[in-house]
Amino acid sequence: MLETAREELDIAVGLAASGLFGTFVVHEAPDGWSIAGGVAAEVIVDAKSIRCTSLGVTREEPWFGEPLTAVQKFLADLPISDWTAYGWCAFELSYAIAGMTVEEGTLLHLVVPETELRLTGSRVFLRSLDSVALAAVEDTLARIAADPVPTESLPVEVDLESDAEAYRRSVRSLVQEIRAGKLQKAILSREIPVGNEIDFPASYRRGRLENTPARSFLLDMGGLRCFGFSPESVVEVSADRRVSSQPLAGTRALTGDPHLDHKLREDLLSDPKELHEHAISVKVAVDELDGPCKPDSVVVEEYMSVKERGSVQHLASRVVGQMPEGASPWDAFAAVFPAVTASGVPKRAAYQAIQRHERNRRGPYAGAVLKVAEDGAMDAALVLRSVYAQGGRTWLRAGAGIVEQSHPDRELEETREKLRCVATSLLACPKGAGTTPSGAEAVRTGSHD
């Protein structure tokens, strides 16, 4: 355990920017910050197979039915004590869970880190399976403690009007499908390209100072870089098997003008379209948690409060339940994933509508960032209000819940309101610096990084 006078955010960003780890995850939750660096064990699920690596030994095999059972077994058999796994899953994992055809691409990627830090106030709890990595992190922490906060580089401009008319057309078409009885609700999203190379750690720092998320994260895993400010949890499971989910549905802008924000809040709380959208989302959350939980244990603990999340405010509820002895957190995750507030009602019909109307694979958007512990605790945060980079391109994505009463112009404006949560925080890479490929300065993270 170490003592530090630096803020947790500065430590997390400093480690992420240091080049120390080829693979890393920064995870902020209400109980503190975690930083996972390097790979002691890893599991990657794609459309056809599951690849597992533990202490340098890799095996790959096809999965059948659904892949989460194989993931759970791999983690349960790890030869590492007191482990915590960190990572992400794609929205398309839901198709695999539902037994639908899945396109190529990563569905889930988890690592048990070689080195792990927990930040709580002025205390840094540090552990590592490798003495060289441990010493390197200690040296880096000392440097971060002594260095001033870096000067921010130039902001990156993003065109939020990209593809606007196509989005309006898709909303109109989807509303007609809803009126025809094909489904009740679907979240329709649009992708916004970012032309400049951005500094992910610096942009994350700036965005975290501007946002009020339920969770935040910054990761670099297997060629995917991502940071975001999750407005809600998909599911939280404690070690004693208490389960919680927090659906957010219904949105208005948050402008910083107290009078206008109050007016928008009152409008949100009285808008029939928003109230209907939220109510059906809460009902689905209750129905889903009824499956893995004890009979009559599922209750709505909080209903239609308003949560402020960066540049927007949402209607929010919390649904809780208790799972029986011997239940796995993966049972709860499979029951509720993906979040109804990022998919639709009924879910399978919403998946099909999303496939019809969205041009490309969602990947991490509307998926989850995961933290899973050996004692059965799980934290799955909804991946929204995020920026992504992979395969030489960088992009944002945001959506809106489409119901029968939806109007294309209002839904388009809602996507703009959500995009501003991250679009205003993007900073360019320092001139001449470019972006270091993952692992270029990594400390013993292994070739699979």
CA atoms within 13 A on the CB side of 429: 13
**Phi, psi for 57 (deg, rounded to 5):** -105, 125
What burial class does residue 186 get, using C-beta atoms within 10 Å of its C-beta: 0-12 exposed, 13-18 middle, 19+ buried? buried
Q: Which residues of the chain have pLDDT under 70?
A: 431-449
**Among 219, 245, 225, residue whose Cα is nearest residue 380:** 245
Q: How far out from the chain centre does Cα 91 lie?
A: 10
- Determine the Cα–Cα distance for residues 106 and 95; give it in Å rounded to an integer: 13
Phi, psi for 182 (deg, rounded to 5): -75, -30
Q: What's the distance, Cα to Cα, between the start and end of the chain in Å?
A: 27
Distance CA 424, CA 160 (A): 11
The pLDDT value given to residue 441: 37
Q: Using omega within 30 degrees of 0 as the cis cutoff, is the peptide bond preceding 338 cis?
A: yes
φ, ψ for residue 197, nearest 5 deg: -80, 125
Active-site residue, selected from the candidate residues 28, 114, 232, 277: 232
Q: For residue 249, which phi and psi values (nearest 5 degrees)?
A: -155, 135
Task: State the CB neighbour count (10 A cutoff) for residue 151.
Answer: 7
Helix (H, G, I), strand (E, B) or coil at 168: helix
DSSP structure class, residue 222:
T
pLDDT score for 146: 85
Distance CA 438, CA 449 (A): 8
Using alpha carbons, select from 158, 142, 149 the residue that is nearest to residue 202: 149
Fold of 2-423: Anthranilate synthase (3.60.120)
| Helix pair 200-210, 408-423: axis angle to 10 deg | 110
232 as an active site residue: the answer is: yes
Please tell me the predicted confidence (pLDDT) of residue 433.
54
The set of residues, in sequence order, having a beta carbon less than 8 Å from that of 141 and lying 6+ positions away, is 2, 4, 11, 15, 124, 126
Query: Which residues lie below 8 Å from residue 101, measured CB to CB, with a gap of 6+?
Result: 95
